[in-house]
A and B are shown apart, each in its own frame.
Chain A
């Protein structure tokens, strides 16, 4: 899983390092595939992704072409469902019931359940081996604070992986981020890296 929305709030240093090490055959779970050269689009450009689970690929012509050529398997998931499936994965739930997608192509192969007279799709939880996330500020315990729309999927993904690696714009001493401002508790972050400093 890689956080970010159209590249905003994506951990670019971690993405670039994946590209440098040529870590391929990936199943990538991300909101979108941004644009070529932007955010997780760099993993697509480098041909490292075998399977993509995302809500939107319309801004990346490379992703669409690879999919139409049969070189990239894509599972399109409604954005709210994607967020909830990831949340379920991290929160110990088997899945969630959502009205989104009932009666559409998204419902194919899924169970539809009626609860109190309304129809819902059973959408199963998503988990990952690794989550790469991005934050504005971290302390040395890994407590994370986010910024504006760069938060997006990052706090959800932080809980849904075996190993969570966070990249922070700045890292400050423990105690500098007030407990009320911490969005992702440091105990959930296994590895912390800073953004690369300009030389």
Chain B
């Protein structure tokens, strides 16, 4: 299992039956593969649908039915399509239970940066700013480190996506919960020590209740 699969599998455990969920492009999209089959989750996509499903198979593509990355998807019975204003009304209006988004940085205030690296990579925020502002729970699913260092930092150096504190950070090493007191290390991945996580993290971590004894 590569690190992205480890992350997606752990995030999938956060979703509950009946949740209305928006998965961001990239790593978060993988989460859908690891849901327990008994769980019925309503997947929302910002290009205007709720009830999205993976493409049922080759040959089922409809050029008018894609996810927000433009890839062909399916729709479950009971799915519903709508325009972009309505789609974002669902997002900002608090009608989504969970959004799972990728990240470039998260800081000790729980603020996410994921939409630009000034001067080099400027993809734009797409729907991310609205999702972080409006979803009831924001889960950041990202690798713990980039090529240049820790992605969990004291203060974001990149432009932030929102001032909102995200609810959870899931990486291949750990599960971290931002709180008003700082970042609480809640879980470590199998085979990883608390020391490994602390060494890989530039931000200060508070050890969660179950982990304090391990040190």
Interface on A for B, CB 8 Å cutoff?
5-9, 31-32, 34-35, 54-59, 64, 67-68, 74, 76, 78-84, 86-87, 98-106, 136, 146-156, 183
Interface on B for A, CB 8 Å cutoff?
45-49, 62-66, 68-70, 75, 81-85, 87-89, 91-92, 119, 121-130, 133-134, 159-163
How far apart are the CA atoms of A100 and B163 in the complex, in Å?
Answer: 10
Partner of B127, one of A6, A78, A99: A78
Given the complex, which residues of A lie within 8 Å of B127, measured CB to CB?
A: 55, 78-80
Contacts A149-B49, A155-B83; A136 near B159 (Cβ below 8 A): no
- Which DSSP category, helix, strand, loop or mixed, fits chain B's interface? loop
Closest Cβ neighbor of B81 among chain A residues: A148
Q: How far apart are B181's CB and chain A's nearest CB, in angstroms?
A: 21
How far apart are the CA atoms of A78 and B125 in the complex, in Å?
Answer: 6
Check B130–A56 contact: CB distance below 8 A.
no
Check A81–B126 contact: CB distance below 8 A.
no
Given the complex, which residues of B lie within 8 Å of A155, measured CB to CB?
A: 83
How far apart are the CA atoms of A78 and B46 in the complex, in Å?
Answer: 12
Partner of B64, one of A87, A102, A103, A150: A150
Check A79–B126 contact: CB distance below 8 A.
yes
How far apart are the CA atoms of A152 and B46 in the complex, in Å?
Answer: 9
How far apart are the CA atoms of A149 and B94 in the complex, in Å?
Answer: 21
Given the complex, which residues of A lie within 8 Å of B91, measured CB to CB?
A: 80
Closest Cβ neighbor of B63 among chain A residues: A8
Check A8–B64 contact: CB distance below 8 A.
yes
Given the complex, which residues of A lie within 8 Å of B63, measured CB to CB?
A: 8, 150
Partner of A9, one of B64, B82, B123, B160: B64
Closest Cβ neighbor of B75 among chain A residues: A148
A-B contact pairs, 25 of them (CB 8 A): A5-B48, A5-B84, A7-B70, A32-B124, A56-B125, A57-B124, A58-B124, A59-B123, A68-B119, A78-B126, A78-B129, A81-B129, A82-B84, A98-B92, A99-B92, A102-B162, A104-B161, A104-B162, A149-B45, A149-B49, A149-B81, A152-B84, A153-B83, A153-B84, A156-B84
Check B88–A8 contact: CB distance below 8 A.
no
How far apart are the CA atoms of A82 and B87 in the complex, in Å?
Answer: 12
Max chain B Cβ within 10 angstroms of own Cβ: one of A6, A146, A149: A149
Closest Cβ neighbor of A60 among chain B residues: B123
Check A56–B134 contact: CB distance below 8 A.
no
Given the complex, which residues of B lie within 8 Å of A9, measured CB to CB?
A: 64
Check B45–A104 contact: CB distance below 8 A.
no
Check B83–A55 contact: CB distance below 8 A.
no
Check B130–A148 contact: CB distance below 8 A.
no
Check A56–B126 contact: CB distance below 8 A.
yes
Closest Cβ neighbor of B90 among chain A residues: A80
Given the complex, which residues of B lie within 8 Å of A146, measured CB to CB?
A: 81
How far apart are the CA atoms of A183 and B124 in the complex, in Å?
Answer: 29
Given the complex, which residues of B lie within 8 Å of A7, measured CB to CB?
A: 70
Closest Cβ neighbor of B71 among chain A residues: A6
Given the complex, which residues of A lie within 8 Å of B85, measured CB to CB?
A: 80, 83-84, 86-87, 156
How far apart are the CA atoms of A143 and B96 in the complex, in Å?
Answer: 32
How far apart are the CA atoms of A149 and B89 in the complex, in Å?
Answer: 16
Given the complex, which residues of B lie within 8 Å of A80, measured CB to CB?
A: 84-85, 87-89, 91-92, 127, 129-130, 134
Check B134–A149 contact: CB distance below 8 A.
no
How far apart are the CA atoms of A59 and B62 in the complex, in Å?
Answer: 21
Given the complex, which residues of B lie within 8 Å of A32, measured CB to CB?
A: 124, 126
How far apart are the CA atoms of A183 and B83 in the complex, in Å?
Answer: 10
How far apart are the CA atoms of A151 and B48 in the complex, in Å?
Answer: 7
Check A76–B64 contact: CB distance below 8 A.
no
